[in-house]
Amino acid sequence: MADSFGPMRDEGADDGVVGMGPEAGSPRKEPIRVLVVDDHALFRRGLEIVLAAEEDIQVVGEAGDGAEAVEKAADLLPDIILMDVRMPKRGGIEACTSIKEVAPSAKIIMLTISDEEADLYDAIKAGATGYLLKEISTDEVATAIRAVADGQSQISPSMASKLLTEFKSMIQRTDERRLVPAPRLTDRELEVLKLVATGMNNRDIAKELFISENTVKNHVRNILEKLQLHSRMEAVVYAMREKILEIR
């Protein structure tokens, strides 16, 4: 099936995907409903063929551009949307905001050839929960879908390093004073946030800090509540922008 994906590698590739979020929960009773959005019909068809082999994933629709994606999202209310960044009529990042309005429960994974830092950062700001390059293996697509459906954020390893580089540059160029004081995080919450920023999942953070996984989950929940944010990736972006933490 990999040939249908163009730049995607065959199964068995070992690059993996950096995950941010809680570990997968109990088995699902209903399949994960997916909307595929890409301006290349052949690529959409390749994704459908690959995902059709997964018993717990169901492709419920497809769209060829961002404008059509918003309409399909409102009509189908999918669980996950796989969407390209650059498309005619309306790009994927621009469509994210509108999709969040018409289908707030849908989680968006950008699946693209764009490895530009600006696209990654803008996608996160627009509400994307994942950012994957089309060079990932086909089996990793299904794995990413399940992970995001279970509450994790997914990002290709090469883009994770770019994200940290973007954070550093934000620190260097953002010296303007804050109009609103940043919420106070505890020392332990700052420790957890720093580890989240490196792409570690809850299990690895628990091992690093010698605490339980449930305690890590509680810390992450408290961090998001204090910062009034919705995802781990948003929390890291906010923390770097507000100089709450610094990654060296």
CATH topology of 2-157 equal to that of 174-241? Answer: no
Main-chain phi, psi angles of 106, to 5 degrees? -70, 140
Say what percent of the chain tops pLDDT 70: 74
pLDDT tens-digit series, residues 131-169: 888 888 878 899 999 989 988 888 876 677 666 665 655
Greater model confidence, 3 or 26: 26
- Segments making up each domain of the chain, as ranges: 2-157, 174-241
Amino acid 204: pLDDT: 86
Q: Give the pTM.
A: 0.61
Band (56; pLDDT cuts 50, 70, 90): very high
Beta strands, E only, the chain: 18-20, 32-37, 57-63, 80-83, 107-112, 130-133, 153-155
Give 24's contacts (C-beta < 8 A, 6+ positions apart): 146, 147, 150, 152
∠ CA 19-65-103, rounded to 5°: 60
∠ CA 35-162-199, rounded to 5°: 75
Find residue 133's DSSP bridge partners: 112
Give 89's contacts (C-beta < 8 A, 6+ positions apart): 65, 66, 67, 68
The third-level CATH classification (topology) of the domain covering 2-157 is Rossmann fold (3.40.50)
pLDDT at 176 over 70: no
pLDDT tens-digit series, residues 3-17: 334 444 444 444 456
Please state which of the four CATH numbers 1.10.10.10, 1.10.1740.10, 2.40.30.30, 1.10.3720.10 is assigned to the domain occupying 174-241: 1.10.10.10
